[in-house]
Structure 1
Amino acid sequence: MSTQSKNARAFIVLGASGGIGAQVASQLSAAGHELMLASRKSDRLDDLARELKASKRELDAVKCDEVQACFEAASQKFGRIDGAVNCVGSLLLKPAHLTRESEWHETINTNLTSAFATVRAAAKTMTSMGGSVVLLSSAAAKVGLANHEAIAAAKAGVVGLARSAAASYAGRSLRFNVVAPGLVKTELTKKIWENERAAASSTAMHPLGRLGKPEEVASLIAWLLDPANSWVTGEVFSIDGGLGNIQGNQRATRG
């Protein structure tokens, strides 16, 4: 048996058809792990599962019973679940007074309820052996950004959810951590980075002077899923080009 086979583990990637989710799946697959890829029905999910020779499951991640069924199916298929990541998300850029009630509920459901469904399913399925669960927040949950009220509230809720779950299940070796990106170039954010003016403004907000790449966020997620890092739980990892901790675009220059 190869070393890679001995080290193979089983992971669930929710939101696998998105930019970050697909990169997480690709990196985990390249490392020889078994995968259950989950998202709403899409050609992208079908293509990715075929490309990576991975299992797939179509679901609505805001429905707890569907997420639970996904975890149970993965556990039955692989014999265990070593980790899960929820890359499901949306982006609403509107001030509160222009946000419709339906938009508020949709933002909360997509970003926070799906995260809760993931935590709930992991707690029901993974506590016998432990493992790692990674949720996605946003730099907007840490920094006050104009026109981000709904998404900032949802993503801040993800942080509170993860930390509470980390406390609840630490005794069962089930870890919960959060990755909080700045603006990453994905299909979801395409309207921003394809607009010259919006792209320039967004880039200037990130002290490193550029937007993030999906593979950069995916690498951090893969690190958190790795059992070699099993003494990490309840943490929020910013990966935002300095947006959350550095004032302005003050990159050092050489004299």
Structure 2
Amino acid sequence: MTNAQAAELPVFVVLGATGSIGSELSRRLVASGAQVVLGGRNSEKLDQLSTELDASSHIVDANRPASIHECLQHAVESHGKIDGVVNCIGSVILKAAHMTSEAEWNDTIAVNLTSAFYVVSAAGKLMRRTGGSVVLISSAAAQIGLATHEAIAAAKAGVIGLTRSAAATYASRGIRVNAVAPGLVKSQMTKALWETPAAESASVAMHVLGRLGEPSDIASAIEWLLQPANTWITGQVIGVDGGLSTIVPKHKVAR
């Protein structure tokens, strides 16, 4: 491939690239012909994915916000531009507020909300001349009251507010900011919620479509938001949640 041909390919940065959703998304983007820069915390997993996809990578630590800017700067220096950035950095904690320690609260906010804020900040600085797409990850839990979700719901609700405000701020620069809000997705991070038949059955019952999400369900929606064909979409929170946040399963309706 010549330098001129490479310059025409879209360049996407995926943060949290080694997770179930991030890795699925990265594979899809590379398969579509895009150039992808991978950001992640686990160097071993990052190296493996980088080798598999023949993609460049950069260590990103949600507790060190400067590393997020460094990753996006690395993408600009390596490829000359960024067309889109996705923040798949996240965590899950299911504890009532009175059972959640100060350290757990701070970590939940840092990983899920602060990382998203600094992704927007870095994108605002590095993409303001070229425009592009920023996709953040919220949660159905931010839009419907679910027991023992206080910390994660608060963090993911913050992502929704951030998405809409940033979409307004950067619209004049051609930067679109949207979020995807998943329901329960079968991933390594959520394994405790579906690894036993009883747990899976209870979780499935909350989703009107009768199954849990797969990483591909979320990756597909993110990939769609990154496409230049969708440049009239910004400030949106798209629920990819099997109906969890908006529909009551039939068996729960009072008779």
Sort the TM-score into its range (normalised by shorter chain): over 0.9
Q: Give the SS at the match of 2:202.
A: helix
For residues 137 and 209 of structure 2, the distance between their equivalents in structure 1, rounded to whole angstroms, comes to 21
Alignment of 1:145-156 (within 5 A): 145-156=146-157
Amino acid at match of 1:95: A
Q: Give the SS at the match of 2:205.
A: helix
For residues 11 and 249 of structure 1, the distance between their equivalents in structure 2, rounded to whole angstroms, comes to 41
Q: Which runs of 5+ in 1 are unaligned?
A: none
The Cα shift of 1:149 comes to 0.2
For residues 251 and 176 of structure 2, the distance between their equivalents in structure 1, rounded to whole angstroms, comes to 36
Q: Give the SS at the match of 2:18.
A: coil
Say if 1:81 and 1:126, in contact at 8 Å, map to a contact too.
yes
Alignment of 1:52-201 (within 5 A): 52-201=53-202
Q: Give the SS at the match of 1:176.
A: strand
Amino acid at match of 1:133: V
**How high is the TM-score relative to the length of structure 1?**
0.94
Is 1:31 the counterpart of 2:32? The answer is yes
For residues 167 and 113 of structure 1, the distance between their equivalents in structure 2, rounded to whole angstroms, comes to 19
Q: 1:30 and 1:7, CA in 2 relative to 1: closer, same or farther beyond 3 A?
A: farther
For residues 8 and 144 of structure 2, the distance between their equivalents in structure 1, rounded to whole angstroms, comes to 39
Amino acid at match of 1:229: N
The Cα shift of 1:43 comes to 2.2
For residues 108 and 56 of structure 1, the distance between their equivalents in structure 2, rounded to whole angstroms, comes to 25
For residues 103 and 35 of structure 1, the distance between their equivalents in structure 2, rounded to whole angstroms, comes to 32
Cα-to-partner distance string for 1:162-186 (whole Å, 9 max, x where unaligned): 1000000000000100000000001
Say if 1:204 and 1:249, in contact at 8 Å, map to a contact too.
no
Size of the aligned set, in residue pairs, is 250
The Cα shift of 1:47 comes to 1.0
For residues 64 and 89 of structure 1, the distance between their equivalents in structure 2, rounded to whole angstroms, comes to 14
For 2:233, the equivalent position in structure 1 comes to 232
The Cα shift of 1:250 comes to 5.6
For residues 110 and 201 of structure 1, the distance between their equivalents in structure 2, rounded to whole angstroms, comes to 27
**RMSD, matched Cα:** 1.7
Q: Give the SS at the match of 1:207.
A: coil
Q: Give the SS at the match of 2:124.
A: helix
Say if 2:140 and 2:183, in contact at 8 Å, map to a contact too.
yes
Q: 1:27 and 1:249, CA in 2 relative to 1: closer, same or farther beyond 3 A?
A: farther
The Cα shift of 1:6 comes to 8.0
For 2:49, the equivalent position in structure 1 comes to 48
